[in-house]
């Protein structure tokens, strides 16, 4: 119960969860990949008239620099899903792409295609995009600025920040350097580059209208939202594209819009590059997200809370409660403290605290400045993971065949087998992208009883049988509560 509470109450300060199950770096080269930031201050390319007066803001330099490094992504779903009424439904991310004209239900055999954008961050083919652009896709195709196309491999995802990392097999590609998004200023000019409505390489301009926005759009329970808000026009298809400063350096990944219509209505939101860099580095080095947790339940301080709690300040992050085994409790932070700084950087909102903590790893040391009963105090904290210790989270190794099949299997108890009238069988616990979902209409809950007429006695037995097969196999089984046997042909 304590562990569950730790995870839930720490939700606002990070997550160590990833959907990917891929080995994504060669140990011999694990130190090769490093995300580097631009240290130059943003410049403002301008044109002047003959008298030296400011004439027109010129966006041609950053546009020409960035467009070749922004790609078009096509995501295809060939597998189908059922709702509670046994109807096939279009997954949520693609409803946003296609709208209501497709309806919630669709033909189980008809593939669906969604489009988005991505940013090349390494010339060797590493591409960042949004998780919702590629979520549940069985096939991912990337089109470059020069019209070359590649099949992309999904290296990993982080739903808590709505980011994903792809890899294509290509070299010497144009790439974008990341700037320090903390240096971005409200009022600064920015460009958004992407592929709205399949209009490739579209550039729009605007200013940063706010920072640290939390709009509660991410569905992950441990979502980290601290978006850069801009008024650069962004529409469906821009997701995963670049938000850059006038030096052409990346400061964010365009992710969402605030709109009553589904089209641009004045505001768009981008994940800051300091979050992007942390996610990419974790996926490349560890294969999963390493995120530190402070272990507190928090609220933004405002005038009302200040009056209610008799606080001497009107901003900061109020500590409502602490989690047992959390790093905050262990370090001496108390309920009622107001967090006002992290590592000597002022913190005024929970979003700012989310970023400051969410970009650190378990075991990292951080100085937390709190206002306690009107006096400030700096407390050193060693961050812990969601399990309450300082160890890095290990990536779960997944059986290669099981990963290729896109399925997780589980054994049935003797009671379950007896109830179903079976003497053996293995249940399909979950299905993701893979051979089963792309080649068959098998649904979660299917009980595999035989492979090519050979009885299946356990998960290990099923894996051994399939590993020994080549070419096509016939899976025989049943669904609990449905009469008759079902058969699925699968090519290995």
**Which of 167, 185, 201 is where one domain is finished?**
167
pLDDT of the residue at 17: 26
**Quick one: pLDDT at residue 259?**
82
pLDDT reported for residue 47? 53
Same-domain pairing of 411 and 349: no
Kindly state whether residues 357 and 421 are assigned to the same domain.
no
Boundary residue ending a domain (353, 382, 411): 382
| 353 and 406 within one domain | no
* Confidence bin at 471 (pLDDT 50/70/90): confident
Which residue has better confidence, 486 or 99?
486
Looking at the fold, whether 158 and 100 belong to one and the same domain comes out as yes
Closest by CA to 14, choosing from 155, 224, 216, is 224
**Candidate list 239, 268, 327, 350, residue with the active-site label:** 239
**75 and 162 fall within a common domain:** yes
Region 204-215: mean pLDDT is: 93
User: Same domain for 83 and 161?
Assistant: yes
**For residues 259 and 339, which has the higher predicted lDDT (pLDDT)?**
339
Which residue did the predictor score with more confidence, 151 or 102? 151
Say if 487 falls within a structural domain. Answer: yes
Q: Is 273 part of a structural domain of the chain?
A: no
Mean pLDDT across the stretch 406-434?
Answer: 87
pLDDT exceeds 50 at position 383: yes
Report pLDDT for 339.
97
Give the angle 204-207-212 at the CA atoms, nearest 5°.
115
* Between 181 and 415, residue with greater pLDDT: 181
Would you say residue 217 lies in a domain? no
Which residue segment(s) compose the domain that 404 sits in? Answer: 400-491
The pLDDT, as a whole number, for residue 6 is 35
Q: Which of 382, 410, 431 is the last residue before a domain boundary?
A: 382
CATH assignment at residue 78: 2.40.10.10
368 and 434 belong to one structural domain? no
Q: Which of 17-26, 53-62, 254-263, 269-278 has the highest mean pLDDT?
A: 269-278
Residue burial 178-206, b: 16+ Cβ < 10 Å; e: rest: bbbbebbeeebbbbbbbbbeeebbbbbbb
Clarify whether 162 is annotated catalytic. Answer: yes
Question: Residue 79's pLDDT is what?
Answer: 55
pLDDT at 426 over 70: yes
Mean pLDDT score across all residues of the chain: 82
> Average pLDDT, stretch 405-429?
89
Same domain for 371 and 438? Answer: no
Give dist(CA 29, CA 268) in Å, integer: 37
Mean pLDDT (whole number) for 238-264:
92
Residue written as tokens 């350096």? 249
Task: Please tell me the total count of domains within the chain.
Answer: 3
Q: What is the pLDDT of residue 103?
A: 41
Residue 434 has what pLDDT? 77
In-domain check, residue 250 = no
CB 458 within 8 A of CB 411: yes
Catalytic residue among 162, 231, 247, 249: 162
Q: What is the mean pLDDT of residues 111-124?
A: 92
SS3 label, residue 414:
helix
The CATH number of whichever domain residue 358 belongs to comes to: 2.30.42.10
**Annotated catalytic residue, options 38, 79, 80, 132:** 132
Residue 83 has pLDDT above 90, yes or no: no
3-state class of 466 per DSSP?
helix
Per-residue pLDDT tens digits for 392-406: 876 654 456 777 788
């Amino acid at each position: 119960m304590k562990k569950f509470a730790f995870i839930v109450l720490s939700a606002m300060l990070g997550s160590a969860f990833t959907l990917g199950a891929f080995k994504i770096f060669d140990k011999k080269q694990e130190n090769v990949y490093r995300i580097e930031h631009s240290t130059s201050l943003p410049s403002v390319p301008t044109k002047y008239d003959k008298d030296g007066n400011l004439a027109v803001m010129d966006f041609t330099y950053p546009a020409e620099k960035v467009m070749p490094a922004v790609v078009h992504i096509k995501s295809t779903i060939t597998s189908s899903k059922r709702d509670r009424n046994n109807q096939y439904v279009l997954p949520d991310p693609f409803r946003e792409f296609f709208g209501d004209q497709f309806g919630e239900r669709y033909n189980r055999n008809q593939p669906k295609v969604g489009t988005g954008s991505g940013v090349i961050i390494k010339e060797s083919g590493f591409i960042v995009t949004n998780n919702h652009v590629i979520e549940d896709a069985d096939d991912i195709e990337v089109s470059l600025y020069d019209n070359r196309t590649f099949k992309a491999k999904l290296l990993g995802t982080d739903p808590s920040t709505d980011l994903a990392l792809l890899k294509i097999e290509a070299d010497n590609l144009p790439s974008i350097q990341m700037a320090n998004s903390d240096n971005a200023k409200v009022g600064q000019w920015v460009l958004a580059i992407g592929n709205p409505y399949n209009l490739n390489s579209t550039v729009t301009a605007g200013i940063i209208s706010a920072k640290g926005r939390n709009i509660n759009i991410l569905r992950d329970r441990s979502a980290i939202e601290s978006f850069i808000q801009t008024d650069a026009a962004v529409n469906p298809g821009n997701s995963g594209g670049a938000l850059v400063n006038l030096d052409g350096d990346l400061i964010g990944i365009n992710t969402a819009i605030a709109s009553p219509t589904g089209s641009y209505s004045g505001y768009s939101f981008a994940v800051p590059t300091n979050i992007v860099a942390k996610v990419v580095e974790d996926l490349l080095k560890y294969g999963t997200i390493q995120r530190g947790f402070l272990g507190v339940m928090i609220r933004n301080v405002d005038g009302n809370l200040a009056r209610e709690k008799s606080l001497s300040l009107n901003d900061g992050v109020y500590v409502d409660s602490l989690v047992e085994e959390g790093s905050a409790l262990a370090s001496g932070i108390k309920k009622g403290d107001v967090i006002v700084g992290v590592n000597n950087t002022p913190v005024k909102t929970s979003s700012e605290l989310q970023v400051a903590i969410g970009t650190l790893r378990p075991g990292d040391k951080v100085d937390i400045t709190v206002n306690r009963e009107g006096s400030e105090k700096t407390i050193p904290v060693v961050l812990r993971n969601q399990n309450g210790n300082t160890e890095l989270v290990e990536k779960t190794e997944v059986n290669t065949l099981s990963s290729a099949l896109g399925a997780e299997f589980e054994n049935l108890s003797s009671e379950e087998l007896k109830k179903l009238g079976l003497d053996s069988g293995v249940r399909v616990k979950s299905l993701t992208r893979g051979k089963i979902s792309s080649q068959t209409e098998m649904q979660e809950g299917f009980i595999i009883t035989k492979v090519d007429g050979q009885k299946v006695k356990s998960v290990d037995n099923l894996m051994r049988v399939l590993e020994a097969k080549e070419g096509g196999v016939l899976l025989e089984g049943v669904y609990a509560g449905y009469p008759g046997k079902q058969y699925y042909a699968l090519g290995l």
